[in-house]
Amino acid sequence: MIPLSEPGKSFGQRLKSALADAIIAGWIAFFLFSLLLGVRTVDKVTGLTLAPRPGLLAIAVGIVVFGRLLLNLFVWQAEHPITTPFAKLFTSKQFERRDLIVLGSVAFVSTLVFIIASIVHAAGFQLVAACLLAFLGIGTIRRVIVYFFPNLPYARIFTIGGIAFAILFPLVSYLLEKAFHLGLPLRYLFDLSILVLTYVMLGWGLNIVVGLAGLLDLGYVAFYAVGAYVFALLATHFGLGFWMCLPVAGIAAALWGVILGFPVLRLRGDYLAIVTLAFGEIVRIILINWTPVTNGPNGISDIPKPTFFGLPFSAQASPNFASFFGLKYDPLQGIIFLYYVILGLALVTNLVTIRLRRLPIGRAWEAMREDEIACRSLGINTTITKLTAFATGALFGGLAGSFFATRQGFISPESFTFIESAIILAIVVLGGMGSQLGVAIAAIVMVGGFEALRHTAGLQSVFGEGFDPALYRMLLFGVAMVGIMVWRPRGIVGSRSPTIVVHDVKPIPKNLVEEARA
């Protein structure tokens, strides 16, 4: 796709070919958008009518033409692509003078823009400049640290630091808030973290199926739904609590995984993907239509919250958590507890995955991912291997599902659409399949990023008051999915650490060699 830069070409020649290319791209964009963006269908009493929007069409085509032109001139056909210095920030390559000039001027200009934007209250420019500066800052700090300590185990530090932060964050922020009244939006922060952690757990669960065993599962949400509904039904019909139902829901989902997995095991990669997708949809359609059991599209409400060793967190109950420990009642206590529940579940998922990778079954999964035929010829039973991968992944999906049910207090088939499966899969793939750290980062970026989009007033100042960022969330999500995949097919954290490493090659002792010769 990317034309090779030809060093011999003069600037005039390059400008000419870049312009020609941009004009072709403009025509294509015009044909793509002409009817779909250039005209809008309007509902009227008499039927549909059309309202032209030539301005929007012109803007869209203009963006394509100029974007393509700039990319051609400065990146694709350029002798020294402008992106190289930025990429170098995140490697350990030597900087040249040119790179430093580019980076320095970008830093200078964005600081200037940031200051001016802060003075004139242009939130959009401020946001863009701040993002650029943060990007440069992170890269610089990384280079400096790597320069002084080249041999630290960074992945390990990152992991331990991340887990420590995740454990301490709610308690510390809660205590700080209580002590100093900082006015932090704690409720919102905790809710968001719980959401992110749920996706981290789902990502880690699906990672077993997709990342380790290499089976593309597009219907993972079915197991999530099974876990949620099993818990919700047991809780509302038989009055069982969360902790009692959690293992049951997990086992039910795992069983479901085996039932679904069994018939489709003979299928190859992408056939398997489509069949799992179909199964996911079947589960959702059954949930909608099997009204006597699932209450249909209305869903199940009044699902109980988890208790702390039998102590509920609600204000009405007595003794509740606060009164038992002699604390003042605060609704945040329950939310913090939920946070720790999902954190614990996610960490268990991670731990089990890491340990399983070192067991024969985990080794078999990875061998199967790399080459199924070779795997079979080595005497590994691929049927059992696939089934265990499916069941283990489904188990964690089910656990996450019952957590989802208890957190929401209400579930309906609406929550278990294909798009949910796609989001979880995107997290796994974009994080770099098989990399636990990558999945966690991808979950934070994806879910956190979209949540941020929902609340940014800065975007509104750029696109006008009528701009609703929430509408564009899924569009941007799709664009990000395609873009990241094309840019880095191996995911954000692309380097998967090998499971087995030969640390040092031992030379064969001389006496053994001679023995063999004899």
Specify the residue, 32 or 112, whose C-beta has the smaller distance to other proteins: 32
Per-position x/- string for 408-447, each x denoting binding to other proteins as judged by CB under 8 A, each - no binding: ----------xx--x--xx--x------------------
Q: What is the smallest separation between the CB atom of 199 and other proteins, expressed in angstroms?
A: 17
Q: Is 116 in the site for other proteins (CB under 8 A)?
A: no
Rounded Cα distance between 241 and 248, Å, is 11
Q: Is 71 in the site for other proteins (CB under 8 A)?
A: no
Tokens for 64, please give them.
């394509």
> Which of residues 200, 201, 246, 264 is near other proteins by CB under 8 A?
264
Q: What is the CA radius of gyration of the chain?
A: 27
> Which of residues 6, 79, 96, 270 is near other proteins by CB under 8 A?
270
> Which of residues 273, 405, 444, 447 is near other proteins by CB under 8 A?
273
Tokens for 203, please give them.
């990502």
Specify the residue, 223 or 403, whose C-beta has the smaller distance to other proteins: 223
Specify the residue, 130 or 288, whose C-beta has the smaller distance to other proteins: 288
Q: Which range touches other proteins (CB under 8 A), out of 45-53, 88-96, 237-245, 405-413? A: 45-53
Q: Residues 458 to 487: which contact other proteins by CB under 8 A?
A: 471-472, 474-475, 477-482, 485-486
Whether 406 and 417 have beta carbons less than 8 Å apart is answered as no
Beta-carbon neighbour count of residue 490 at 10 Å? 15
Q: Is 282 in the site for other proteins (CB under 8 A)?
A: yes
Whether 416 and 221 have beta carbons less than 8 Å apart is answered as yes
Q: Is 495 in the site for other proteins (CB under 8 A)?
A: no
Q: Which range touches other proteins (CB under 8 A), out of 81-89, 312-320, 369-377, 508-516? A: 369-377
Q: Is 253 in the site for other proteins (CB under 8 A)?
A: no
Q: Is 144 in the site for other proteins (CB under 8 A)?
A: no
**C-alpha closest to that of 253 among 280, 277, 271, 274:** 280
Q: Residue 52: in which H helix or E strand, if any?
A: strand 47-52
Q: Which range touches other proteins (CB under 8 A), out of 15-23, 29-37, 388-396, 509-517? A: 29-37
Q: What is the smallest separation between the CB atom of 270 and other proteins, expressed in angstroms?
A: 5
Q: What is the smallest separation between the CB atom of 321 and other proteins, expressed in angstroms?
A: 42
Specify the residue, 475 or 518, whose C-beta has the smaller distance to other proteins: 475
Rounded Cα distance between 30 and 36, Å, is 10
Q: Is 289 in the site for other proteins (CB under 8 A)?
A: yes
Q: What is the smallest separation between the CB atom of 217 and other proteins, expressed in angstroms?
A: 11
Whether 81 and 5 have beta carbons less than 8 Å apart is answered as yes
Q: Is 187 in the site for other proteins (CB under 8 A)?
A: no
> Which of residues 15, 19, 39, 82 is near other proteins by CB under 8 A?
39
> Which of residues 6, 16, 24, 34 is near other proteins by CB under 8 A?
34
Transcribe 107-127 into DSSP letters. Answer: HHHHHHHHHHHHHHT-HHHHH
Whether 216 and 388 have beta carbons less than 8 Å apart is answered as no
How far out from the chain centre does Cα 246 lie? Answer: 25
Specify the residue, 363 or 376, whose C-beta has the smaller distance to other proteins: 376
**C-alpha closest to that of 17 among 61, 71, 88:** 71
Q: What is the smallest separation between the CB atom of 447 and other proteins, expressed in angstroms?
A: 16
Specify the residue, 128 or 267, whose C-beta has the smaller distance to other proteins: 267
Whether 450 and 473 have beta carbons less than 8 Å apart is answered as yes
- CB neighbours of 177 closer than 8 A, spacing ≥ 6? 184, 186
Place of tokens 């039998």: 310
Whether 232 and 411 have beta carbons less than 8 Å apart is answered as yes
What is the maximum alpha-carbon separation in the chain?
99
3-state secondary structure of 43: strand
CA dist 319 to 120, 315, 335, 351, 462, Å?
Answer: 55, 9, 18, 35, 52
Rounded Cα distance between 6 and 13, Å, is 11
Per-position x/- string for 203-232, each x denoting binding to other proteins as judged by CB under 8 A, each - no binding: -------------x-x--------------
Rounded Cα distance between 162 and 156, Å, is 10
Q: Is 449 in the site for other proteins (CB under 8 A)?
A: no
Number of residues that bind other proteins (CB under 8 A): 60
Q: Is 36 in the site for other proteins (CB under 8 A)?
A: yes
CA atoms within 13 Å, Cβ hemisphere of 44: 9
The residues binding other proteins (CB under 8 A) are 1, 28, 31-32, 34-37, 39-41, 43, 47-50, 216, 218, 263-264, 266-271, 273-275, 277-279, 281-282, 285-286, 288-289, 371, 373-374, 418-419, 422, 425-426, 429, 471-472, 474-475, 477-482, 485-486, 489
